A and B are shown apart, each in its own frame.
Chain A
Amino acid sequence: MLRRWLRGLGLLREWGLRLGLLVLSATIVVLVAMLPEGVVVTGEFTVSGSLGEVRTSTTEKFRVEPVDADSGGLVYGWSLAEYRRGIGEYLTGLARGTLTVDKWYGTAFTVLPLLPLLKEAWWYSFELFAGALVVGIVLGLLLGVLVLGSRGARAFGAGVSVLGVSVPDFLLILLGQQLTIWSYRNFGVRLWSVLGVQGGERGWLLPLVALSIIPMAYTARLLSTALDEAMREDYIRTARAKGVPEVWVVLKHAMRNALPRALNGMPAMLNVTLSSQLVVEVLTNHYGIGSGLMRGLSYSQPHVVASIGLIFCLWFVVMDGLAVTLRALANPQLKGGEAS
């Protein structure tokens, strides 16, 4: 009974800490995202953001070189009063639910309420994230268990998980795009939809595969390390000596001790997966909050950027808290150590 109370208190403390962290990160996000609100134009030059220009109209070769004299653009300054006003307006709009956006997918120049759009985009992103997490974790568990198999199986599991962590998300998507173009040109087989940045078709398979690689690799690595350590413990030898079947030894003894340890690495995995989600969405024409963030940055919409930043903070803290809760619930030592 006392243990249960202590465990409950420990969990409350963990959630309290995460709430504090949420407030801190939300403050940072709003302060950072609203930076453009303080920017004011104080002068004017020529073409914006350019190093210069080169002229060509013939078949002759030309050298692309920057011309410093031609560089320039608008001249910007910083106004603290404007920045404060921007933050105030944003927070008021957020509290009242009256934030608006003037450019959204396929609805250019029509002012629309922002929060319902973000809700829709979030759900779209969440479906992808949850799907990738489920697929990735299930595959990762299977790969992680290979550590108990033959030497070849161990090497295969380790190799796939190392590659999964090493190969970047954007490279996977670029390779996926090339692969489906190649297979269609050579064999007439489309492996998945051809997806581009805000263009091309809409599809699920490529983003799902690309996003599930990270959870898969992380889960496999975490579980195989934890299982490897657990299988060397004395209680495993005792169970085997008592004649307990090997499957039961793994499921009842090794897994129950390895899983809480593997859950320790979950927050890092979620952080990397969330980061990856932004890139996957942008590169695969997936109109979730990741693409929304890029549009917000491209079109200088601080309200969109700040709101999406807040969603990310909340999302991460909730997932992190859930991982901690799961770990606490799965920890056999807090249940009286009956598993060992």
Chain B
Amino acid sequence: MRRLNLPLLVGFVLCLGLVVMLLLPEWITLPDPHMGVYIQMDGRRLRLAPFAPGEFGYVLGSDMVGRDVLSRVIYGARYTLGLAALVNLLRVAVALPAGLRAGWAGGRSGRLVRAAAVGFGSIPALAMVAMTLGGLRWLIPGQAGWLAVYVAMLVLSGAPRMAEQVRRRVEEILIMPHVEAARALGATPGRILRRHVLPLMRADILVMLSSEMAWVLLLMGQLAVFGIYVGGTVAVRGEGWVMAVEYLPEWGQMLGANRYNILRAPWIAFYPGLALGLAAATFHLLAEGFRLQGLRRG
């Protein structure tokens, strides 16, 4: 009897949930994620935002200026998952060629990749990225520049470790008999890597992509807790008050910008945090499932 690969199954189900979330705004009409209302009439009483889940038709409640949390969380999937996928792709684009080169050539490039992986691994990634972005915060003009630096730091924090994993795997494959045979037949390095090394790394790359996606989402959530996120703030001004609120419905930003409201209105930070955490767990489970599948296939 074939054994059930539970992590893969659960991962796929959760992944399906994320896909539905991405497509939901195309299927149904959701409240505008940027539309807010600060004061609402509850019978003869005036009520100020934030509104709790279930009140005034807000399924998951509203944020500090009355924007719908459910709608923002659903729209946020596009920004957050898109951003994480971009970081992941850039990490692969940097790490795969570097790891292949280091694994093939060894020597100085091998040592460089190993040293970078060890160097970046000796400081918790969160501390390193938070310190750098915290230090650079004032020097970066505009939201686009901040987004570029944020993405660059997320790429840098994981690429060396990824390149080292690729290098190790390439070294393992290069001593296999079929590679030796290809070498003896006079195949060029490019052909050997393309035809004899990369096909054997397909499963590893699949595991790596899922696992890295989970780590990127986790790091984005952790950075948000530290108040480091992308999206910008907008000042909302009323009679005698002003409030800086997050603009983009990005999960990290919604969690980070509302972390001080956890005791007053816990739902504002909780649901984006839940979405971010579940997305990270989804990709962790997928990675675990792919790893298990690879082991069973031998």
Chain A positions within 8 Å of B, measured between CB atoms, are 21-22, 24-25, 28-29, 32-36, 39, 47, 49-66, 71, 74, 76, 78, 155, 159, 162-163, 165-171, 174-175, 177-178, 181, 194, 196-200, 267, 271-272, 274-275, 278-279, 282-283, 293-294, 297-298, 302, 305, 309, 312-313, 316-317, 320
Contact = CB atoms under 8 A, between A and B. Distances in A.
A174 B274 contact: yes
B131 A297 contact: yes
A245 to B, nearest CB: 30
A57 B285 contact: no
A136 B284 CA distance: 20
A36 B136 CA distance: 7
A274 B288 contact: no
A62 B139 contact: no
The 5 closest A-B pairs by CB, nearest first: A171-B277, A35-B135, A166-B284, A297-B134, A275-B124
B91 interface: no
A305 B134 contact: yes
Nearest to A75: B141
Contacts of A53: 234-237, 242
A35 B119 CA distance: 19
What's the interface size class on B, roughly? Answer: 35 or more
Contact of B226 (A61, A155, A297): A297
17 contacts: A21-B118, A24-B119, A25-B122, A32-B132, A55-B236, A56-B65, A155-B6, A165-B284, A167-B277, A168-B222, A171-B274, A171-B277, A196-B262, A197-B262, A293-B130, A298-B227, A316-B123
A167 to B, nearest CB: 5
A153 B202 CA distance: 33
A36 B269 CA distance: 29
Contact of B119 (A28, A57, A194, A316): A28
A39 B135 CA distance: 9
Contacts of B134: 36, 297, 305
A56 B266 CA distance: 24
Given A59-B40, A177-B262, A199-B262, 13 more contacts: A35-B136, A56-B65, A58-B39, A63-B34, A65-B234, A76-B138, A162-B284, A170-B224, A177-B266, A267-B121, A278-B222, A279-B126, A297-B134
What is the interface of chain A mostly: helix, strand, loop, or mixed? helix
Contacts of B118: 21
A282 B277 contact: no
B276 interface: yes
Given A29-B123, A283-B225, A313-B123, A171 B273 contact: yes
Contacts of A29: 123, 131
B122 A313 contact: yes
Q: By CB atoms of chain B within 10 A, which of A56, A194, A267, A283 has the most? A: A56
A74 B126 CA distance: 28
A196 B263 contact: yes
Nearest to A302: B135
A200 B124 CA distance: 28
Given A29-B123, A36-B135, A50-B233, A61 B36 contact: yes
A320 B119 CA distance: 13
B238 interface: yes
A115 to B, nearest CB: 19
Contacts of B12: none
B36 to A, nearest CB: 6
B106 to A, nearest CB: 20
B35 to A, nearest CB: 5
B214 to A, nearest CB: 7
Contacts of B38: 56-57, 59, 62
A159 B222 CA distance: 24
A170 B36 contact: no
Q: By CB atoms of chain A within 10 A, which of B214, B221, B225, B269 has the most? A: B225
B234 A305 contact: no
Contacts of A63: 32, 34-36
B119 A25 contact: yes
Nearest to B228: A297
